[in-house]
Amino acid sequence: MDHSQQAHIHRVLIASANPLFGKGLQKLYGERWGKNAVEFILASSMGETLAKLDSWQPDLVIVDYDDKTIHREEFLSHFIAGDRPMQVVLVSLQASGAVVVYDRHTLTPAQAENWLNDQWQQPSEPKSAQRSAPMKGNVKHLVIAGLLVVVSTFILYFLLANIGLLPVVASTQAITIDRLFNAHFFFIALLFSLIMVFIGYSLVMFRSKRGEQADGAYFKGNNTLEIIWTIIPLGTVLAFSFVGARNLAETRVAEPQALNVTVTGFQWAWVFDYPDYGITSRELVLPVDRQVLLSLTSRDVIHSFWVPEFRVKQDALPGENLVKQLRINPNRIGEYKLLCAELCGGAHANMNAVVKVVSKADFEAWVSKEVSANLTDPVARGQKWAENNGCISCHSLDGSKLVGPTWKGAAGEEVTLADGTTVLSDDAYLLKSIVEPNAQIVEGYPASVMPGTYSQLLTDEQINDLIAFIKTVK
Ligand code: HEC
Ligand SMILES: [Cu+2]
């Protein structure tokens, strides 16, 4: 009983100097045949292996094919000499992943030769056919996939460049920036194609056939490939940062005859001062083909000056010492839109202004009109202050309800306040509402929304002008 049971147990001798090799195989065998069906002995040197071969009489010998300490000739002579039925399996865990089986009884001289000469082929197959076929196949796949990458790159680049991702070019800075954008588009197209074409091609060409169960070949790694795919992106990023830095410098080249404009952002509007002419405007009017030097600041939170057609962008920061500069050379006559590119509160999305690029003659005409309108009439001045200080982004002139009450008919009426009392809207009330907006809150409107800073921002004369203007809105 005991004896017959014993006969079913396979004896496996594992020869490898690397203990992990034997442990891994034992685990595999255990999972496959059950722990008790196989008995193992690990031999870590040639001497040990030969001794165990004689004394223990294994059914199967598994040799680590990559282990150079196993002396093949000696092993082979020993292996042939024995008389027990015995198989030798040579297992390699290296990239080629070969498993070669030699059977002592059928071992031919040619196979013995192979074994000695470190040949990796299945003993029955001629070696030349085996080696060159997959190589040729790989080259063919690489060429086809490479061509597909090229085609896909150009199609994608053509699409990216032609679906109008970039707005019209209206400044010389935009030309520089677009050059970089186009280089990016090209690389986006190339990298996308490189990845997607290889994935797609492999999915189609190397999918498993119907009914196929086997695992794919085992790969431990490919150093060449890893070096290539580290160096190419690294080089690309470094090249782009170099080109980017140079382009940035190019967009900032200063010209001596630049027009000075101070840009002030506040919740939620822009105002432009032309210190050389004493003009304050709600529109940014610029002469074509002359550099403008913008000095940007903010009265409250951070805003950001951005005209997409000019491409360049700059934050406007609160604080007198934080004036930021931006140079633009408008080169295309037209009307554009200034956006605030920094989320700055409730009406951020409406924080726009008209930007007009006009001919030199038109610019001069505009300047002289603005200068002569520098105004003798308090009501006209008041209207200008109301526009330039953002009042009319919260107060309508036509009766519609914005953030604050409309100015239409606001003066001279009874106003109901939040505490239920009423008050006559006379000059004193209007003055108090402007310099101390939280003192009396109009019913139905939020407190602390109207800025409390106008008493410092505006002169007494300007406030009087504003009151004069409000009284005319009927
Ligand atoms: C951010 C929005 C906002 C801005 C900008 C703003 N206001 Fe107001 N204003 C309000 C709100 C809200 C009220 C109503 C609550 C209150 O009485 O404080 C109000 C109330 C007033 C009132 C009282 C109106 C009435 O019908 O009784 C006056 C006058 C006024 N604002 C003038 C101005 C002037 C002048 C400016 C510009 C220099 C200005 N406001 C800018 C939001 C604003
Ligand atoms: Cu803003």
Same domain, 343 and 383: no
- How confident is the model over 301-326, as a mean pLDDT? 93
Domain encompassing residue 148: 140-205+219-251
Looking at residue 28, what is its pLDDT?
77
Looking at residue 130, what is its pLDDT?
44
Pocket-testing residue among 350, 395, 464, ligand 1, by greatest number of atoms within 8 A of Cβ: 395
Whether 130 maps to a domain, the answer reads: no
* Cα 381 to ligand 2 centroid, rounded to whole Å: 26
Looking at residue 471, what is its pLDDT?
92
- How confident is the model over 416-420, as a mean pLDDT? 90
* Cα 439 to ligand 1 centroid, rounded to whole Å: 12
Q: Please tell me the distance from the alpha carbon of residue 28 to that of residue 21, in angstroms, as a whole number.
A: 11
β-partners of residue 13 are 41, 61
Does residue 199 have a pLDDT over 50? Answer: yes
Whether 212 maps to a domain, the answer reads: no
Looking at residue 332, what is its pLDDT?
94
Whether 270 maps to a domain, the answer reads: yes
Does residue 85 have a pLDDT over 90? Answer: no
- Which residue has the CA at smallest separation from atom 43 of ligand 1? 450
Same domain, 264 and 174: no
What ligand has the least distance to the C-alpha of 419? 1
Last residue of a domain, one of 372, 395, 413: 372
Does residue 82 have a pLDDT over 70? Answer: no
% pLDDT > 70, the chain: 88
For residue 83, what pLDDT band results from cuts at 50, 70 and 90? low
Looking at residue 336, what is its pLDDT?
96
Cis check for the bond before 33: say yes or no (omega within 30 of 0).
no
Same domain, 290 and 343: yes
State the closest ligand 1 atom to the C-alpha of 418, by its place in the atom list counted from 1: 17
- How confident is the model over 426-437, as a mean pLDDT? 92
More confident residue, 303 or 9: 303
Whether 214 maps to a domain, the answer reads: no
- How confident is the model over 427-431, as a mean pLDDT? 93
Q: Is the dihedral of CA 75, 90, 102, 83 positive or negative?
A: positive
Does residue 156 have a pLDDT over 90? Answer: yes
The residue to which tokens 């039925």 are assigned: 85
For residue 1, what pLDDT band results from cuts at 50, 70 and 90? very low
- How confident is the model over 105-128, as a mean pLDDT? 57
State the closest ligand 1 atom to the C-alpha of 430, by its place in the atom list counted from 1: 29
Same domain, 265 and 329: yes
CATH of the domain at 318: 2.60.40.420
Least confident of 45-54, 278-287, 431-440: 45-54
Ligand 1: residues within 6 Å at CB?
389-391, 393-395, 403-405, 410, 415, 425, 430, 433-434, 437, 441-442, 445-446, 449-451, 454, 466
Whether 132 maps to a domain, the answer reads: no
Count of residues for the chain? 474
| 474 class by beta-carbon count within 10 Å (0-12 exposed, 13-18 middle, 19+ buried) | exposed
* Cα 380 to ligand 1 centroid, rounded to whole Å: 19
Does residue 5 have a pLDDT over 50? Answer: no
Interior CA angle at 224 toward 218 and 227, to 5°?
120
Same domain, 99 and 31: yes
Looking at residue 307, what is its pLDDT?
95
For residue 133, what pLDDT band results from cuts at 50, 70 and 90? low
Looking at residue 356, what is its pLDDT?
95
Least confident of 7-11, 13-17, 430-434: 7-11
Same domain, 329 and 417: no
CATH of the domain at 468: 1.10.760.10
Same domain, 246 and 268: no
- How confident is the model over 394-408, as a mean pLDDT? 91
Is 87 in contact with 68 (CB distance < 8 Å)?
no
Same domain, 100 and 153: no
CATH of the domain at 117: 3.40.50.2300
- Which residue has the CA at smallest separation from atom 13 of ligand 1? 404
**To the nearest whole number, what is the mean pLDDT of the chain?**
84
Q: Please tell me the distance from the alpha carbon of residue 331 to that of residue 313, in angstroms, as a whole number.
A: 17
Cβ neighbour number for residue 245 with a 10 Å cutoff: 10
* CB-facing half-sphere around the CA of 13: CA atoms within 13 A: 23
Looking at residue 124, what is its pLDDT?
41
Does residue 304 have a pLDDT over 90? Answer: yes
Q: What total of structural domains would you count in the chain?
A: 4
Assign 40 to helix, strand or coil: strand
Least confident of 28-42, 272-286, 351-365: 28-42
For residue 125, what pLDDT band results from cuts at 50, 70 and 90? very low
Whether 34 maps to a domain, the answer reads: yes
Does residue 131 have a pLDDT over 50? Answer: no
Looking at residue 118, what is its pLDDT?
55
Tokens of 228: 């290539």
Looking at residue 107, what is its pLDDT?
72
Q: Please tell me the distance from the alpha carbon of residue 113 to that of residue 130, in angstroms, as a whole number.
A: 18
Last residue of a domain, one of 351, 372, 393: 372
DSSP string, 256-309: TTPEEEEEEEETTEEEEEETTTTEEESSEEEETTS-EEEEEEESSS-EEEE-GG
Last residue of a domain, one of 327, 344, 372: 372
Looking at residue 120, what is its pLDDT?
42
Looking at residue 123, what is its pLDDT?
40
Same domain, 288 and 385: no
For residue 283, what pLDDT band results from cuts at 50, 70 and 90? very high
Over residues 46-60, the pLDDT tens digits come to 788 888 877 877 878
Same domain, 246 and 345: no
Same domain, 159 and 189: yes
For residue 94, what pLDDT band results from cuts at 50, 70 and 90? low
- How confident is the model over 183-198, as a mean pLDDT? 92
Looking at residue 150, what is its pLDDT?
95
Whether 287 maps to a domain, the answer reads: yes
Same domain, 107 and 148: no
Whether 322 maps to a domain, the answer reads: yes
